[in-house]
Amino acid sequence: MENKTTLDHLLKIEAEAAALVNEAQAEADRRTHENEEKNRVAHEERHRAEAGKRELSLKDDIEKFKSQYQESLDEYRKEISGVIVNEERFFALFNEYIAGEG
């Protein structure tokens, strides 16, 4: 009878150990999931922050290029506004060119 009591006691201890292992595994799974979620959220926040910085940088670059373009265009318009076109001479050269080609 003593062997049966010892065996029952050992089976009870094994069941308790299995329960502890299951609880430990469940806790480990919960913590792993929690850490994965925290890491995902942190990654998304870093990604959004970096994307925001890059978007601002891109907008700044676009504005800078627009400004440079407008300055160049204004400078070109100023240059050509002082050019006097001699239409008679232009058409004479044009007709001469056309006549030479034909």
- In the numeric block, which tokens belong to residue 40? 């995902």
Read off φ and ψ for residue 7, nearest 5 degrees: -65, -45
Percentage, residues of the chain above pLDDT 70:
97
Q: What is the CA radius of gyration of the chain?
A: 42
Domain count, the chain: 1
Q: Tally helices (H) and strands (E) across the chain.
A: 2, 0
Mind listing the pLDDT tens digit for each residue in 53-65?
999 999 999 999 9
| DSSP class of 19 | H
Whole-structure pTM value = 0.50
**What are the structure tokens assigned to 30, written together?**
């919960």
Instruction: Give me the domain span that covers residue 32.
Output: 2-101
